[in-house]
Amino acid sequence: MKVFLAGATGVIGRRMVRLLRDGGITVVGTTRTPAKGRALSTLGATPVVVDMFDAEAVARAIDAAEPDVVVHQLTDLPSAPGTPGYAEALARNARLRTDGTRNLMAAAAAAGVRRVVAQSIAFIYAPAPGKLPGLRVESDPLDDSSDPSRAITIDGVRALERAVLETSGIDGLVLRYGFLYGPGTWSDMSPKPPAIHVDAAAQAAVQAVRRGAPGLYNIAEDDGVVSSEKAKRAFGFDAAFRLMP
């Protein structure tokens, strides 16, 4: 099996390369710079330097790779919340979810790819009625927030999820991650719920490469905010998974 991993040098992507290679899967990984491409080579992936906003370049890259599965782990959030540049990063990240995803899905469809696994987020559900928050499940509505920065994020997520789930001829799986923590993220300890360790997030995506029906899946710890029972049933998601040193 061969996987085309978009966003292979990100915090989840790097872990996915290791897990996929350990499982005997060939990995072609994207990055934006030659320097990061060389780093990917040392991990055992074939690097492709490509601008995800260049639709023709993305199409050429996927066509040349001839993958069985495409994985979308693209983000553009170098600045943590509350730091300079974070607001601008949210806008760039939303554009990546919208335009980058559209280019990726069009290229996958044109190349005859039949399965796509994509990263989304699990902390944009609409508030539950009543005093108790209750467990959010995948069929619950997303928030229609009037807060501008949150609205930008939610609009980008909606565009990403529609593109992945509604592209004809492709089985699309969307993984809604909780707030990431662990090495390489903004937090070493579990942040506010819903949360997920970055190792478990990567492992969930690797599992979804082979298993699971098309659709939405919450990927988070059992911390009382969202339910990940669907992912546990579909592909054995385990929030306690950690990579060995």
In the chain, the number of structural domains is 1
What is the extent of the structural domain holding 204? Answer: 2-235
Q: In this structure, is residue 240 part of a structural domain?
A: no
Q: In this structure, is residue 52 part of a structural domain?
A: yes
Helix axes 11-22, 34-43, angle to 10 degrees: 30
Q: In this structure, is residue 242 part of a structural domain?
A: no
Whole-number Å distance between alpha carbons of 77 and 94:
10
pLDDT tens digit sequence for 172-212 = 999 999 999 999 998 999 889 999 999 999 999 999 999 99
Band of pLDDT at residue 57, cut at 50, 70 and 90: very high
Q: In this structure, is residue 215 part of a structural domain?
A: yes
The more confident residue out of 111 and 144 is 111
Q: In this structure, is residue 241 part of a structural domain?
A: no
Q: Do 111 and 203 form a contact (C-beta atoms < 8 A)?
A: no
Which one-letter DSSP state was computed for residue 243?
-
The CATH code of the domain that includes 40 is 3.40.50.720
Strands 115-121 and 171-177: parallel
Q: Do 217 and 227 form a contact (C-beta atoms < 8 A)?
A: no
Q: Do 175 and 204 form a contact (C-beta atoms < 8 A)?
A: yes
Burial 157-189 (b: 16+ CB within 10 A, else e): bebbbbbbbebeebbbbbbbbbbbbbeebeeee
